[in-house]
Structures are given as structure tokens and as C-alpha cells.
Amino acid sequence: MKRLEMKQWICAAIWLLVAASCGSNGKKAEINAEGPKPALMWFDAEANFARFSHKDSIDFYLKKIKSLGFTHAVVDVRPITGEVLYDSQLAPRMEEWQGAHRDNFDYLGYFIEQGHKLGLEVHASLNVFCAGHNYFDRGLVYSGHPEWASMVYNPERGIIPITEEKHKYGAMINPLNEEYRTHILGVLKELVGKYPKLDGLMLDRVRYDGISADFSPLSREQFEAYIGQKVTHFPEDILTWEKGENGRFIPVFGPLMLQWLEWRTKTITEFMALARKEVKSVREDISFGTYTGAWYPSYYEVGVNFASKMYDPHQDYPQWATPNYKNYGYAELLDFYATGNYYTDITIEEYKKSNNLVWNETDSQAQQGTWYCVEGSCQHLREILKGCPFMGGILVDQFYDHPEKLTATIAENLKDADGLMVFDIVHIITKNLWAEVEEGMKQGGNL
């Protein structure tokens, strides 16, 4: 064997040994170093409700994505309203969305049946800590459970329910609410039991809404128990707001903020461990996965530490990570991980020329640095995930005005990540971007 081939073989073997520790008790993403990488196409529940309410549309687009080198269909079955797209004993079924009604068939079951015929894996996506759509006043928090809604610290109005912040479309839930946790864990277990041929779960929004959440009496009580003292000035000892020159409010850390951030990420990681345990109790072989944003330097704002437990963020980000923060990395809990490389700059060289300010959905402030391009993000993700694989995600509607960059970001994610996640098929259909997708899949080696 030639020296270069031997070196490649050894590197691949080492990588597989390291990756085996990630989600080691379940079905892992199969990544062939010499073949096509996993490529996921996401089917959002609400945006695609009308189009995919008919079997022939499902047939057509599953064949379409298969022909372009995609390997997985991620089917959203619990949108942010908390309704579900299958018959459930625990949650209301979404029968209609904006005037469109679904034909009488098993939506997810049909995706699984037809996807498997084509050799596609089918994973179900569910929004976890969200149960209402604030634009339409629709969902579980609007139809019987207002107490589930997260309490957010608004800079001008103080602590209010998130349902009163109408500029936010998702009515997020307090992750500590035990009644809700029982509900959502029941939904996850019910789904896995109902569809024994389902390949995996892809959990979305397993997080806090943002840095302003959750400031409910329950959160205060449990945080005080965690630190072993009363918070004299709540929420000011944790967070205050200061208006910047541009009129936007900037978060200012109080003396207890770093402990608060540590406690929040502990809360999310412990829930992830519990969710994995409960799901695996029904089906050990089911893939347990999640989606998060890729912007780790600011993702502490939503209480999520998706890094490896072998990575210590305190060394790189002491401004928000305590020495104990590393104890709550959850990458090793996952069998499958997709992360949003939602950047319009593709390469590091391109970013250094533009030096763009990036404001992600979950951020309270704009961000800068080489993390905020696809190539740079993948390099940094390698460092914090310590060998655990990740699918690099793209947001198609970012490229409506520059479709050639859609091709570039698909190719770059396939090159630098362990696979690809495309959100969402509706954007490709609406703008007829199939040619750009096809070219990106070719350049990335999947087609």
C-alpha cells in the first residue's frame, strides 16, 4: 500500500474510533470516508403543509432529493404550535394550516414507507420547548396552558409572558416546568413506539428562548437552590439592560450571571440525557439526534452547550463560561447532530474581506470573527466537538439574491463537515433553485 493511502486509512480508522464514543449506545450516522456523506433535506411542517398534504407530492419530491444525492428526509411532525402531524393520544393533531387541509392518510407513515423504498432514511423532527405561534395566537399555550409559557425579562416592560412579545414567533416554554416536561417526554416516547420503522429523532429548540429567558418564580426558586443563597435583587443581580447608541438594548451581566448561565446549561443537558434515556427505553436502536445553531461563542445565551464534555469553554470564553461549564457538554449524548452554518460568507478568505457583522436569530448582539463563515465554523466545530461528527446546515432563503452562493455553501459544508443539512425544501421549490442544489452536490462529491 502506498504511503499516502496508508496515512489516509490510518486517519480514517482513528476518526471512527473517536466518533464511536459519541452516542455510543444507539444508532449512529454511518459516514463513509470515501463515499457520499449523509445529506439531509428538511421538510418543515407549516411551510410545507399544503404542498405535502397529497401523496403524489411526497412521492415526487422524495424521488427528486434521492436523485440529487440526498440520503435522509427530516420530516417535521411537531411544529412550534405544539400540534402534531400524526394521530396522538397526547397532543392535538394539526388538521389545517392557513386554510389548507390534509388528505386522510398517515403523513409520517407514508414518508417512512416511500422513503425506505428509495433507500432514504427518515427522521422525525419535533420542536421541544415551544408550544405556540405568537403571530397567530395558536397552539397549546393559547388553548389551555398559558402557564407553560416562558417568562422573559423585557428591557422596557419587565418580566412578562413570552406570548406578549409578538415580534417573536415562537412561544417558548420554561424547560423546568414539570407538567410540560412530562407532556413532551410522553410525546417523544409515543412517537417512537407508534412508528417502529422510523430511523431517528431530530429534536429542535431544546433550549431557552434567549438571554432574556426564563425569569419565572420557578426559575428563581430553583436557581437559588442551586447556588445555596437567596437572590436579593431579582433579576438585577443576574441581568440588567442598557440602551446602546443604536437604540438597541444591550445585556449587562450582574454578579450572579455566570452561575446563572452554568445552571441553565446544566438544566438543558440534564433534560437531553433524560430524553435520550426515555426514548431509548422504548426503542434502543432509534437514532437520537438534535439540531442547534453553530454559533457556539454566543449560544450560551440559549442555555445550550453542544460541545464535547472533553472541551473546556472556560479556557476560550471566560467572559461567560465558568470552570464548571465544561461538565455539561452533551455531544456524547447524540447519535446524530445537525448544526446551522447559516452564514453568507463561505470561506475564511471571503469573510476577512467582508468582515461582516452577523446577527443570528438567538443572539442579543451582533457577532464578528472567523467563526461566522462556513469554513471557519467547521474548523472551530472540530475543536469543540472533539471528534463527534456533525452535519453542516444551510438556510436556503439566505441565498435568494445570490443563488450561486447556495451552490458554494452546499459544496463547502460537504467538504468540511461530516454531512449536510438543508433547511428547507420549500425555499428550493419556491425559487426553483434545483440547478444550484444539483451543482453544489456535484462539487461536494455526493452526486
The answer to whether 360 and 341 are in contact (CB under 8 A) is no
Q: Is the pLDDT of residue 436 over 50?
A: yes
Contact (Cβ atoms closer than 8 angstroms) between residue 320 and residue 304? no
The answer to whether residue 410 scores a pLDDT higher than 80 is yes
Q: What is the pLDDT of residue 219?
A: 98
Q: Where do the H-state alpha helices sit in 205-312? A: 217-227, 257-282, 296-299
Measure the CA–CA gap between 407 and 409, rounded to whole angstroms: 6
For residue 16, the model assigns a pLDDT of 46
Q: Is the pLDDT of residue 27 over 90?
A: no
Domain topology for 34-135+170-208+256-444: TIM Barrel (3.20.20)
The confidence score (pLDDT) of residue 132 equals 98
Rounded mean pLDDT, 318-345: 98
Lowest mean pLDDT among 33-47, 82-96, 110-124: 33-47
Q: Is the pLDDT of residue 26 over 70?
A: no
Q: Do 135 and 166 touch, CB atoms closer than 8 A?
A: yes
Please write the tens of the pLDDT for every residue from 201-248: 999 999 999 999 999 999 999 999 999 999 999 999 999 999 988 889
Cβ neighbourhood burial of 250 (10 Å; 0-12, 13-18, 19+)? middle
Given a cut of 60, whether residue 18 has pLDDT beyond it is no
pLDDT tier at 188, thresholds 50, 70, 90: very high
Ranges of each domain in the chain: 34-135+170-208+256-444
Average pLDDT in the chain = 93
Confidence band of 13 (pLDDT split at 50, 70, 90): very low
pLDDT for the residue 23: 75
Q: Cα–Cα distances in Å, from 166 out to 47, 148, 173, 316, 434?
A: 20, 17, 15, 36, 34
pLDDT digits (tens, 9 = 90+) for 289-307: 999 999 999 999 999 999 9
The residue whose grid cell reads 437531553 is 272
User: What does the alpha-carbon distance between residue 327 and residue 322 come to, in Å, rounded to a whole number?
Assistant: 10
**What pLDDT shows up at residue 245?**
82
Question: Taken in order 322, 158, 218, 133, is the CA torsion positive or negative?
Answer: negative
- In this predicted structure, the answer to whether residue 313 has a pLDDT above a threshold of 60 is yes
Pairing status of strand 121-127 against strand 200-204? parallel
Average pLDDT over every residue of 370-384: 98
- Straight-line distance from the first to the last Cα atom of the chain, in angstroms, rounded to the nearest whole number: 28
Going 280 to 283 to 287 to 293, the CA torsion angle's sign is negative
pLDDT at residue 12 above 80?
no
Q: Find the mean pLDDT for residues 410-434.
A: 98
The confidence score (pLDDT) of residue 355 equals 92
Place of cell 478568505: 349
pLDDT confidence bin for 31, thresholds 50/70/90? low
pLDDT for position 25: 53
Percent of the chain surpassing pLDDT 70? 93
Q: Between 227 and 24, whose confidence is greater? A: 227
Mean pLDDT value of segment 358-370: 94
In the predicted model, is pLDDT for residue 9 greater than 70? Answer: no
Q: Give tens-digit pLDDT for 96-140.
A: 999 999 889 999 999 999 999 999 999 999 999 999 999 999 999
